[in-house]
Structure 1
Amino acid sequence: MAEADDFLCILVPDRARMRQNDIAGTGETGKAGQVMIGRMILGHVLAGAAVVLCLQPALAQQPAATLRAGVVQLSKAPVPVTANLSGQASATQSAAIRPLVDGVVREIAYQPGHPVKEGDLLFSIDPKSYDAALALAKASLQNAQAALPGAQSALDRAERLVGTSVTQEALESARVTFAQAQAAIAEAEASVQTAEINLERTRITSPFDGIAAIASVSIGDLVTSGQSDALTTVTSLDPIYVDLSEASARMLQLRARVTSGAIKPGDRIAAQLRLENGEAFKGEGQLDSVGASVSTTTGTVNVRFRFANPDRLILPGMFVRAELTLGTADAFLVPQLAATLQADGTLRLFVLDDNDTAQELRVTSIGSTERAWIVADGIADGTRLLVDNLDNMKAGQKVDPVAATISDTGIVSDSAGEN
């Protein structure tokens, strides 16, 4: 009870004095004072509640504050329809160089990492045994050729004397001997040709123009025909392929829009690349081929482009991003900073009605540029789009519109140039 009295002394300044009187007094006087104090406190509480109840309707009736925000006016115009895809570079030609004969490496005739031309010598294998094999094959050919005239003469004599001093059996034997002599020459010629090929294979040359990698062998190493380990690899880097992947569903959507006339295809599909460091690659790619099947794991289709690569900036295996120009469409360019991509793939925008009140709008894009979404429908020509202060924006919000511009770097400023 003492704590309650102390609290009442704070609320009611005269309570301390009254309390002292109560302590000094006795009986009815103290009780009467306590009743009076209780009635005073109850009156203050009821008055405060009445004030709060009276203020609530007034607060509810206050209008929402007007929000200042930048707007741009949207107009439909022909715009390029692009698609951004990721992909990986691959060589137009790449060959693992392996020996086709056995022997010891005698020479490595190229500089790794330097260009080589088709037919340039890469490796030399000791040719001594193959020189000897060729000489032996040539000798066998000469021996076979020497036997042919005798077989021819015997056959001519048998044919001339058959029925007199030469029997039919002897004639047939002469014919067989002559045929065998001819076959021996053909066999010897084939052996010479094989020996020449093997000797030629001791000189390992580049199959095409390209860049030769570091050799995996040294001079003096023994190599064997068709071994699993390559001696080196020659790769052609100019031109170079870039293999891109696009979802099959997306390709079907684009095809449907082309068929409906929403997208007007150009004469060709152009591609611009951006390298791994963000640098734009100079040069435009040309469509080489489109895959004939859909990946069962990723649901994508491969699209291959060919790029001139004289400076060898793009290397096989490098990951790149490509922007494909598919055609043009009569559409609106909606700044990306003014749109919020939703989980269902639509874009959420805020636009102004005739009363300068914000309204929420959902649209679907058909593509994008570096800083804008391409929207073909769902927006009226001349629509005023809110481009800033969007974190505080909601449907029904009164707006004080300010004509705004968006710089190339995505900065919003009013018509006077203020941010």
Structure 2
Amino acid sequence: MLSRKLPIAAFTVLAFALGACSDDGKNQQAGQQPPPPKVGVITMSEQTVPLTTTLPARAVAYQYAEIRPQVTGIITNKAFKDGALVEAGDLLYEIEADTYEASLASAQANLDKANAAVPGAKENYERYQRIVNTGATEIQVTDAKTRYDTALADVSAAKAAVKSAQINLDHTKITAPFGGVLGVSNVSVGNLASPTASTPLVDLNQLDPIYVDMYESAGQVLSATGKYSDFKSESDLSKVKVNVQLDDGSTYDVTGNLDVSARTVDQSTGTVNLRAIFDNPDHVLLPGMFVRATLTVAEEQGYLIPQLAAQIEAGGKVSAMFVTSDNKVETRVFDEVMVSNNSWLVQKNVSDGDRLIVDGFQSLVGGVTDVTPVPAKINDKGVVVDDTSGSSGGSSSGGSSSAAGSTGGNG
């Protein structure tokens, strides 16, 4: 009897379970739909903002020199530590001076000898002038004048030889032509220094101030209606503010100014060299360092759309999603956009009070049209920093990553 009751009990439990599942399904069908997903929004307002352009750039020394000897000799003294900071006129090297001191002494002796011959030649010439036609002929006068002129010329030549010998002696002391930072010396005490050597003794770079060279499309620079069209003179160029971002992503805390624009186009790249100048007292910028330079070329009124909240459409158009007054998602496409730091500046198809979606993009996948907008905050890089939309961290970063992927090529 027990063996027959167990299957009956089991069937009874299964029937109850199936009935419960059927009731739950009916309740889900009859119940309310899930609430609209939450998205982070910012409220648009018109403002005056800078127009910027970001270009690849490289730091270049304000002044650069290869220190080379001007006379030949053995180096007897290296007066600096490699990599040292020096001032103009500081001693760098000394070359053995004995030979050049002897040359100067010999030249000085020749000068003294030439000077000694002048008074006699002069007196002889003047004497012949006094007795011409009475005790001296015209030929004798002429010869006396020639000897006197020769004596004067010998003095001039001897003076030049002394000066040349002095210059050579002075060149045995090699000094810094300007203040800057030295590189690593290529020679040491005991080496032979020669003006014809292929390698310089050491390099010298002036780092404060320092240049930053940028390369802009020739079409942008030369266009009559382009962003550089208002900058015709050197004083106009100096009004353009420049900031640089270092390799580690940090921003150099000194603002520079555009200093000069090349008047030629690089035939291989089709670009024009723009050069900015920066104060660099702490030597943060070093020659050869690659950076990203952001130029502020003008100011305009309009609305800012963070690049991370937008997408690039075909043809270079920019699109972004907004929340309408009835909390529906609306995509707007902008034909004309300008760059302002990490945002797009638009002047049409937006009004004060419009709500731009900046967070929660992942919840919009699949054609979702109804949403619940929640105020969000973004930092100066256009990244959401206060996610109050209820979306998970993955949702926020996922949406931002998608947008960033679309706009990365335009940074």
2:338 corresponds in structure 1 to: 366
Question: Are 2:121 and 1:147 aligned?
Answer: no
* Cα distance in 1 for residues equivalent to 2:360 and 2:78: 69
Cα deviation, 1:145-192, whole Å, max 9, x if unaligned, reads 111111101110111111111111111111111110100000000000
Write the mapping of 1:113-192 to structure 2, written as runs, cut at 5 A.
113-192=83-162
Write the mapping of 1:292-331 to structure 2, written as runs, cut at 5 A.
292-331=263-302
Cα displacement (A) at 1:218: 1.7
Cα displacement (A) at 1:326: 2.2
1:8 corresponds in structure 2 to: none
What is the letter of the counterpart of residue 332 of structure 1? Answer: Y
Cα displacement (A) at 1:129: 0.6
Cα displacement (A) at 1:277: 1.4
Write the mapping of 1:91-130 to structure 2, written as runs, cut at 5 A.
91-130=61-100
* Cα distance in 1 for residues equivalent to 2:350 and 2:307: 15
What is the letter of the counterpart of residue 410 of structure 1? Answer: V
Structure 1 unaligned regions, length at least 5: 1-62
* Cα distance in 1 for residues equivalent to 2:391 and 2:314: 35
Question: Are 2:45 and 1:75 aligned?
Answer: yes
Asked if the contact 2:220–2:227 (Cα under 8 Å) also holds between the matched residues in 1, the reply is no
Cα displacement (A) at 1:415: 7.6
* Cα distance in 1 for residues equivalent to 2:314 and 2:218: 20
Write the mapping of 1:11-50 to structure 2, written as runs, cut at 5 A.
none
2:187 corresponds in structure 1 to: 217
What is the letter of the counterpart of residue 206 of structure 1? Answer: A
Q: TM-score, normalised by structure 1?
A: 0.76
Q: Which of the residues 377, 386, 397 maps onto 1:406? A: 377
What is the letter of the counterpart of residue 274 of structure 1? Answer: Q
Asked if the contact 1:69–1:399 (Cα under 8 Å) also holds between the matched residues in 2, the reply is no
Asked if the contact 2:182–2:204 (Cα under 8 Å) also holds between the matched residues in 1, the reply is yes
Larger radius of gyration: 1
Cα deviation, 1:105-162, whole Å, max 9, x if unaligned, reads 1111111111111111111111111111011101111111111111101110111111
CA 1:269 to 1:351, structure 2 compared with 1: closer, same or farther past 3 Å? same
What is the letter of the counterpart of residue 366 of structure 1? Answer: M
1:342 corresponds in structure 2 to: 313
What is the letter of the counterpart of residue 100 of structure 1? Answer: Q
Q: Which of the residues 281, 287, 291 maps onto 2:252? A: 281
Cα deviation, 1:288-332, whole Å, max 9, x if unaligned, reads 112212222222222111111111111100011122222321010
What is the letter of the counterpart of residue 294 of structure 2? Answer: E
* Cα distance in 2 for residues equivalent to 1:205 and 1:72: 62
Structure 2 unaligned regions, length at least 5: 1-32, 231-235, 394-411
* Cα distance in 1 for residues equivalent to 2:291 and 2:176: 29
Q: Secondary structure at the match of 1:86?
A: strand
* Cα distance in 1 for residues equivalent to 2:38 and 2:80: 71
Question: Are 2:358 and 1:384 aligned?
Answer: no
CA 1:234 to 1:266, structure 2 compared with 1: closer, same or farther past 3 Å? closer
Q: RMSD of the TM alignment (CA)?
A: 3.0
Cα displacement (A) at 1:207: 0.6
* Cα distance in 1 for residues equivalent to 2:45 and 2:106: 87
Cα deviation, 1:266-285, whole Å, max 9, x if unaligned, reads 98222222211122212111
Q: Secondary structure at the match of 1:323?
A: strand
Identity, % of aligned positions: 34
Q: Which of the residues 261, 269, 289 maps onto 2:240? A: 269
Q: Secondary structure at the match of 1:156?
A: helix
2:205 corresponds in structure 1 to: 235
* Cα distance in 2 for residues equivalent to 1:254 and 1:356: 44
What is the letter of the counterpart of residue 101 of structure 2? Answer: D
Asked if the contact 1:266–1:326 (Cα under 8 Å) also holds between the matched residues in 2, the reply is no
1:24 corresponds in structure 2 to: none
